[in-house]
Each structure stands twice: as structure tokens, then as C-alpha cells.
Amino acid sequence: MQHFSLLDLSPVPEGRTTADALAGTVDLARAAEAAGYHRYWLAEHHNMPGIASAATAVVIGHVAAATETIRLGAGGIMLPNHAPLVVAEQFGTLATLYPGRIDLGLGRAPGSDMTTARALRRHMAPEDSFPQDVQELIGYFGDNPDTAPVRAIPGNGTHVPVWILGSSLYGAQLAAHLGLPYAFASHFAPAMLDQALDVYRRTFRPSEHLDRPYVMIAAGVCAAETDEEAAYLRSSQVLAFARLFGGKPGKLPLPTHDVAAQVSPQVLTQVQQALAISATGSAATVRAGLKDLIATYQPDELMLTGMIHDPAARIRSFQIAADVLTDLRQPAVAA
């Protein structure tokens, strides 16, 4: 593992506002930078009361202005919602303002329900143009001459690094075909992780972007001083997923000591399966869990995520995890 990074959805806790959530994102980004995280990514979701990062490029710019060195980006932008040129202009502007710090992860899903997707896109195209849209977008970041019929300004010549995101074999195949880095959404959809990594690594074609495969996997983390405290803090995310699976998404719930009193056994099993790629507990417990994930999947980069109701506890959780991963990343010292 070369790097560890952080994915933030700007969660909106119950009893707080989207303004509070966005302020919390800035606080967390500054703490992540100080703790040694390599990247800080935000994700595009729409019509979700508990997520404040819908205008992802705007939030990235806000965080970039509040930090100094950490790489920032989208994990991801849901490309079917947008014209490639518009995304190129947005991220080209970010790369112009903050050179050398901007990434662009691209997803194929709408990041919303279909009613919201229609509101975003206005015209629903029956064909899947994602591969073509990705290549068009990458082209706008290239060194296009003044005679090019369409250029992204800003954007032209910025060469913003583009990633393919996925939770199935589709993204793995496309990333391998185009020779792009690949990030798997194992923090909430781990079922096809093994197959996707195998397909990507086995079929990767070197490109001008990469000469060898580069894999990032995402993992949930909830760290605290004790296993019991961590389990209590993590209950907010468990409840949030249970409500989402029940068709009732909302703000991030308050934690509870008795999840079973609010979630049926069937739904709890579903949530536990979705959140299986994770580590919860004290520093020692999280270390064991993350060490096992790294050994099993051999990622080039591990991206952590986790939603905790108390902003201070969330920062502390990622600080504990950073200490663990800094130690795990260091080569073993000969006895």
C-alpha cells in the first residue's frame, strides 16, 4: 500500500444543518491533511437529506481554499448527470486554481433515484454513452490546439488525473481498457470486489496515463478509545443504511446502544453485508482489521470513510486510523 486517503460525504447529522455539515467537512479536511492522508475526496449524491456534497465541484473548491497540500477530488462525479464539457470546465477551473492537487473520479450511476435523475438530466438517453463520455472528457484536459472546434477553458492542458469508479465488473473492464486508475466502492457494495480487482489487474492495458494497474479500495472505519465506544458511534451509520434500504433516507441518526430495537434482523443482516469491508473498534482492533484487508486485497491505496454523528468523534476516528495506517505503511525494520 502506497497511500491512504479519505472519502467524505459531508453527512448532515440529526439536529444539525447542511451549513454545519459543510463546516464539518472543512474541519475534517484540515485534520486529514495534518494526519497524513494523501487525498480527500467528496461524492456526488442528490436529493439526500443526509448528504451535503451534491454540488461536488463547489465543495471541493471550498475545501481546497481551506487546505494547503492534500490532494482533493471527486469520488465521484456521476458523469451521466452532466455534459463532459461542463465537468471539464469545472475541474479544469479547480486545477487552474489549485495546480497539482485535483483528481476526478467518474461514476456511471446517477447517484440518486430515477425521479431525481430525470430532474438532473431532463432528457433520458436510452443508450449507455459512459465510455464515450469518459474519453471525451479526458480529451478536453489534453493539449488541444487553438484550432480545435471545442476546448475546455479553463481545462485545456491541465491533464487532470481521471479515475474510474465502480462496484461491478463494468468499471473494472473500462478502467483496464483505457489504462486508468480504478477505485472500487467496497465500503458499501463489496460483493464483486474480488472479481473486479482480478479483471482489472489481469486485463489492464498500459497507457499514457499509467504503465501498470493502480487499485484503490474503499473501507469503512470507526475508531475510538475502546471497542465499545466505537460500536456505539458506528450505530449511526448502521441506522442510516437501514433507513436507506427501507426507502426512507434522512439525516445521520443519533447513535444508540441498541440497534436491534430499531432494525429488523433481516435488514440488519443486509446492512452488515453492505458494510462488511470495514474496521470498527479501538486502535488495536482497527489495526488488525485494516492489516487483514490490506493483506487480502493488496491495494495500491486504501480510502477510508465513515459517518459519525459527533464531528469531534469523527475527526478523532480518522486520526486514530491515520496513526494505524502510517505504521502499517512503513517497511518492517530488520531485527
Could you tell me if residue 108 is inside a domain? yes
Structurally, how many domains does the chain consist of? 2
**Claim to verify: residue 20 and residue 145 sit in the same structural domain:** yes
Query: pLDDT, tens digit, for every residue of 185-220?
Result: 999 999 999 999 999 999 999 999 999 999 999 999
**Claim to verify: residue 147 and residue 2 sit in the same structural domain:** yes
**Claim to verify: residue 238 and residue 127 sit in the same structural domain:** no
State how far the Cα of 116 lies from the Cα of 146, in Å rounded to an integer. 38
AA identity, residue 98? Y
Could you tell me if residue 277 is inside a domain? yes
- The domain boundary, picked from 137, 160, 183, lies at 160
State how far the Cα of 81 lies from the Cα of 79, in Å rounded to an integer. 5
162 DSSP β-pair partners:
104
**Claim to verify: residue 81 and residue 229 sit in the same structural domain:** no
Could you tell me if residue 93 is inside a domain? yes
Query: pLDDT, tens digit, for every residue of 75-102?
Result: 999 998 899 999 999 999 999 999 999 9
Could you tell me if residue 34 is inside a domain? yes
Is residue 74 left, alpha or beta, with left meaning phi > 0 and alpha meaning psi from -120 to 50? Answer: beta
Task: Look at residue 236 and tell me whether its pLDDT is greater than 70.
Answer: yes
State how far the Cα of 299 lies from the Cα of 275, in Å rounded to an integer. 18
What average pLDDT does range 270-276 have in this prediction?
Answer: 96
Could you tell me if residue 61 is inside a domain? yes
- Helix, strand or coil, per DSSP, at residue 220: strand
Residue 268 is part of which domain span?
A: 217-311+324-329
- The answer to whether the CB of 81 falls within 8 A of the CB of 120 is yes
- Residue 245 has a pLDDT of 93
Could you tell me if residue 95 is inside a domain? yes
- Residue 127 has a pLDDT of 63
With CA atoms as reference, report the closest residue to 295 among 283, 287, 305: 287
State how far the Cα of 138 lies from the Cα of 234, in Å rounded to an integer. 38
- Residue 335 has a pLDDT of 32
**Claim to verify: residue 23 and residue 112 sit in the same structural domain:** yes
Could you tell me if residue 198 is inside a domain? no
**Claim to verify: residue 283 and residue 155 sit in the same structural domain:** no
Could you tell me if residue 207 is inside a domain? no
**Claim to verify: residue 28 and residue 105 sit in the same structural domain:** yes
With CA atoms as reference, report the closest residue to 160 among 225, 79, 258, 93: 93
**Claim to verify: residue 90 and residue 10 sit in the same structural domain:** yes
Task: Look at residue 332 and tell me whether its pLDDT is greater than 50.
Answer: no
**Claim to verify: residue 230 and residue 81 sit in the same structural domain:** no
CATH number at residue 115: 3.20.20.30
CA dihedral 124, 130, 136, 138 (to 10 degrees): 130
